[in-house]
Structure 1
Amino acid sequence: MREPAFWHRPSSWQSHLLSPLSALYGAVAAHRLQRAGLDAGIPVICVGNYHVGGAGKTPTVLALTNILRDLGERPVVLSRGYGGRLQGPVMVDPARHSAAEIGDEPLMMAAHVPVAVARNRIDGVALAKSQGASLILMDDGFQNPAISKDVALIVIDSERGLGNAKVFPAGPLRAPLPPQLAATDALIVIGRGHAADTVSAAIASAGKPVLAASLQPDAEIVTALKGQQVLAFAGIGDPARFIRTLRAAGIDVQRERAFADHHPFAADEITALIAEAEKDGLTLVTTEKDLARLRRGGALPPAARAIAAFPVTLQFDDVARLRDFLSARLFSSRQKRFQDAG
């Protein structure tokens, strides 16, 4: 879906009109947050956000994968495969699966880490454990009570923040903010803006870590695009963040096209974008996630091979602090399971 503009205005007649529905939705969501979930038997680290739409969860999961491997862990990502038609449970194979089958984010992540897709997360836990996982990295699912989380890491964009901070459908929040803050173990703030300052202060005042991070583009692609004029397009949760990242890297974005999150590009849409770019001498650039939706059997169709992907990685300002936090929480979780078993 494409977010309505009134979600990012302090007040509006639309949000006021929808407030009764928000109250009902919020009450149900808050109750679900209190429910105890299944113990997976191995640690579960959930990467989520407070609101619908994108905040940078996918690059966060990939960055955590590297940190956890450095700690000697064997992470397997668990995803619902949003946008894909397969119910699962299934391990993602980039050479065999398409985004239409298992979702764009699992397909993109599977190039770096084993990914299990399952609509029923409990079934996904069993599959991940069968693959030798020492822990599960849950991509999204913070508000879902099915599985108990040992660590809940919340990602927030420093430029976007929480919009009008109202609960869906009056605003973007998936549940009332207070119970979400209470269930948060650490906050990851992406970027240098100030829209997340209030949330950061609330988490810090509760004695929980607030970790600053930034998206860093691939140096080779930046060099390749320097001096070129670009038509940038994206169908992600926050296309504006993608455009900001391009411009911050010194890329000359002449035009931009925004699509809804997980937009399934039709052939004629790609043809039109290519024709527009060729007509005006522009280079087509998109995100890795968008390009993943165009792949078939691990390869791009010929028409899409002129589109440049713009890979980014998440880098933490204080990665040692995050590593120490995760190490301590994982040790504590395993010690508790050992004591309970004894």
Structure 2
Amino acid sequence: MFARAPSFWSAPGHFAATLLSPLGALVGAVTLHRMTKAGGAVPAVVICIGNPTVGGAGKTPTARALLKVLIARGARPFALLRGHGGREAGPLRVDPARHDAAAVGDEALLLAEVAPTIVARDRRAGAQLAVSSGASHIVMDDGFQNPSLLKDASLLVVDGSAGIGNGRVLPAGPLRAPLLPQVARADAVLVIGTGAAGAAVARAVAGTCPVLHGRIAPEDTRLAGARVLAFAGIGRPEKFFTSLREIGARVEIARAFPDHHPYAASEIAALLAQADASGVQAVTTTKDFARLTGPAFQALRPRIATLPVSLALDAPETFAALIETAEARAQARRA
């Protein structure tokens, strides 16, 4: 809906939000009504990683972490997502050797590094393909508000620094529907990172469902002490710049682009020229790097560093509890 989040989404009481709030009330009511529809079931355990707002919150790192836990438990999980930013409607199984971000989206490529991944705008059809391919568990990256597929458990992810913004529903604010009715349909809320906004969400939902905490942590410190030009086209680019500073990198130039920005080779060449002129290293996210594929980027990619990150839960055992809840429900509905 928006390439960048409007500034009034984070400003309670802003006149634009007030003006748009009647439309937001309508959008919220329609979304909540849609969420009450019965979804189609598949013979696999379905766990959804969603968020109550639009914008980046950390769903994909959370889905990757959950897939790894499932694999360690001996399961055969598949990832399932719409493939935002990709042209393929699916359902199709992602093959990183054949598919690029323009085809399936950058998030699909990141998930496919961990487990077999299905892209499908029709989530139920995608789940059926996963099951026919041998999936024991399906981890949905987004789709919480989409009722087409029956979910055995759902985890809502909230960014600790952004929370739910001004607390209003699209287009008046970032919420997809009113918060508490969404939370009532989830099994837990995961607040990623710290901040007053995330703490406020945790307090608001504490009586409705369990609240988990975690953070997005860099996987290495190779860029510690380096002077860098950092660029990112993700939901919240400033989080990437902060992560670089936290490992000791010196962010001399920071360039933010819209989420899922389709880079042109000329844009990347210009960024690299600026980095060279300033005597700094160009660096981006693994998600952005996944979009720099094809012959036009072949000579540019080796000159760009990345900062891999992963989800670190404060209480790692909570994922086991979520999985066991989902498995129990799946077993009960099959009985």
Same fold (TM over 0.5): yes
SS in 2 for 1:198: helix
Unaligned runs of 5+ in 2: none
From 223, 243, 246, give the equivalent of 1:245: 243
From 312, 318, 331, give the equivalent of 1:321: 318
Does the alignment pair 1:296 with 2:297? no
Cα deviation, 1:95-130, whole Å, max 9, x if unaligned, reads: 111100011100122122110001111110111111
**TM-score, normalised with respect to structure 1:** 0.94
For 2:297 and 2:64, how far apart are their aligned partners in 1? 23
1:33–1:179 CA contact under 8 A, matched in 2: no
Amino acid aligned to 2:273: A
Task: Please identify runs of 4+ aligned residues in structure 1 that moved more than 4 A.
Answer: none
How far off is 1:241 after superposition? 1.1
How far off is 1:300 after superposition? 5.4
Which residue of 2 is the match for residue 257 of structure 1?
Answer: 255
How far off is 1:29 after superposition? 0.8
Amino acid aligned to 1:83: G
Cα deviation, 1:268-315, whole Å, max 9, x if unaligned, reads: 111110110000001111100000001239x95112221111100111
1:80–1:117 CA contact under 8 A, matched in 2: yes
1:270–1:304 CA contact under 8 A, matched in 2: no
For 1:50 and 1:202, how far apart are their aligned partners in 2? 13
Does the alignment pair 1:85 with 2:87? yes
For 1:229 and 1:127, how far apart are their aligned partners in 2? 46
For 2:176 and 2:287, how far apart are their aligned partners in 1? 23
Which residue of 1 is the match for residue 197 of structure 2?
Answer: 195
How far off is 1:187 after superposition? 1.0
Cα deviation, 1:56-114, whole Å, max 9, x if unaligned, reads: 01110110011111222111001111110011111001111110001110012212211
How far off is 1:170 after superposition? 0.6
SS in 1 for 2:263: coil
Which residue of 1 is the match for residue 153 of structure 2?
Answer: 151
Residues 197 and 36 from structure 1, CA distance in 2 versus in 1: closer, same or farther, beyond 3 angstroms?
same
Residues 63 and 94 from structure 1, CA distance in 2 versus in 1: closer, same or farther, beyond 3 angstroms?
same
SS in 2 for 1:53: coil
> Mapping of 1:56-75 within 5 angstroms?
56-75=58-77
Number of aligned residues: 333
Which residue of 2 is the match for residue 23 of structure 1?
Answer: 25
SS in 1 for 2:254: strand
2:183–2:189 CA contact under 8 A, matched in 1: no
For 1:308 and 1:106, how far apart are their aligned partners in 2? 21
How far off is 1:239 after superposition? 0.7
Which residue of 2 is the match for residue 234 of structure 1?
Answer: 232
Which residue of 2 is the match for residue 209 of structure 1?
Answer: 210
1:233–1:256 CA contact under 8 A, matched in 2: yes
Does the alignment pair 1:333 with 2:335? no
> Mapping of 1:270-289 within 5 angstroms?
270-289=268-287
SS in 2 for 1:148: coil
Which residue of 2 is the match for residue 117 of structure 1?
Answer: 119
Residues 105 and 173 from structure 1, CA distance in 2 versus in 1: closer, same or farther, beyond 3 angstroms?
same
Does the alignment pair 1:160 with 2:162? yes
For 2:224 and 2:180, how far apart are their aligned partners in 1? 45
For 2:321 and 2:9, how far apart are their aligned partners in 1? 37
Amino acid aligned to 1:209: P
For 2:283 and 2:273, how far apart are their aligned partners in 1? 14
For 2:27 and 2:34, how far apart are their aligned partners in 1? 11
Residues 143 and 338 from structure 1, CA distance in 2 versus in 1: closer, same or farther, beyond 3 angstroms?
closer
Amino acid aligned to 1:309: T
2:53–2:176 CA contact under 8 A, matched in 1: yes
1:50–1:173 CA contact under 8 A, matched in 2: yes
SS in 2 for 1:35: coil
Cα deviation, 1:18-47, whole Å, max 9, x if unaligned, reads: 122212211111111222211122211000
SS in 1 for 2:303: coil
SS in 1 for 2:27: helix
For 2:130 and 2:42, how far apart are their aligned partners in 1? 10
Amino acid aligned to 1:334: A
For 2:65 and 2:240, how far apart are their aligned partners in 1? 18
For 1:52 and 1:108, how far apart are their aligned partners in 2? 20
For 1:37 and 1:85, how far apart are their aligned partners in 2? 25
For 1:263 and 1:226, how far apart are their aligned partners in 2? 27
Residues 25 and 338 from structure 1, CA distance in 2 versus in 1: closer, same or farther, beyond 3 angstroms?
closer
Amino acid aligned to 1:204: A
Unaligned runs of 5+ in 1: none
